[in-house]
Amino acid sequence: GESVGLHLPTLSVQEGDNSIINCAYSNSASDYFIWYKQESGKGPQFIIDIRSNMDKRQGQRVTVLLNKTVKHLSLQIAATQPGDSAVYFCAEIGETSGSRLTFGEGTQLTVNP
C-alpha cells in the first residue's frame, strides 16, 4: 500500500554539524509534504512544508528538498544544536487523501555536545 517511510531510524551528530534526515514516499499523487519535530512527551511541532511543484524550500536553519523523480524528501538542519534532539517525522497529503496526514515512523536525532 501507499506509505511514507524513513531510511534510517536513528541519527547521531555532533553539535555544530549539519544534519540530514531522509524520507521516502511511495504515493506518486502526494502533493504536499510536512516535516514535524516531536520532543519527548510533546505533540509534533510544525517545522517546514513544501508543495510538489517545488524542489527546495528554506526556513530558519532548515531546508527541505524534494526529489519527485525518486520520491525522496530530506530535511537539512544547519549548525545542529542540542535543542534539535528529537524525533523527526515526514508526513504527506495526497491528492486523493483529502486533508489527512500520512506519517512515516520517524527518525530519532541525537545531538552530542
Partner 1 sequence: DAGVTQSPTHLIKTRGQQVTLRCSPKSGHDTVSWYQQALGQGPQFIFQYYEEEERQRGNFPDRFSGHQFPNYSSELNVNALLLGDSALYLCASSVQGSETQYFGPGTRLLVL
**List of residues contacting partner 1 (CB under 8 A):** 4, 32, 34, 36, 41-46, 49, 89, 91, 93, 98-106
User: Which is nearest to 2 in space by CA: 69, 74, 66, 95?
Assistant: 95
Q: For the CB of residue 17, give the shortest distance to partner 1 in the complex, in Å.
A: 26
Compute the distance between CA of residue 5 and CA of residue 104 in angstroms, rounded to an integer. Answer: 4
Q: CB 13 → partner 1: shortest distance, Å? A: 21
Between 15 and 39, CB nearer to partner 1: 39
Nearer to partner 1, 32 or 63 (CB): 32
Instruction: Answer yes or no: are the C-beta atoms of 67 and 55 closer than 8 Å.
Output: yes
All cell numbers assigned to 6: 524513513
Residue 41 or 113: the one with the smaller Cβ distance to partner 1 is 41
**Residues 13, 111 contacting (CB under 8 angstroms):** yes
Kindly state the smallest distance separating residue 112's Cβ from partner 1, in Å: 22
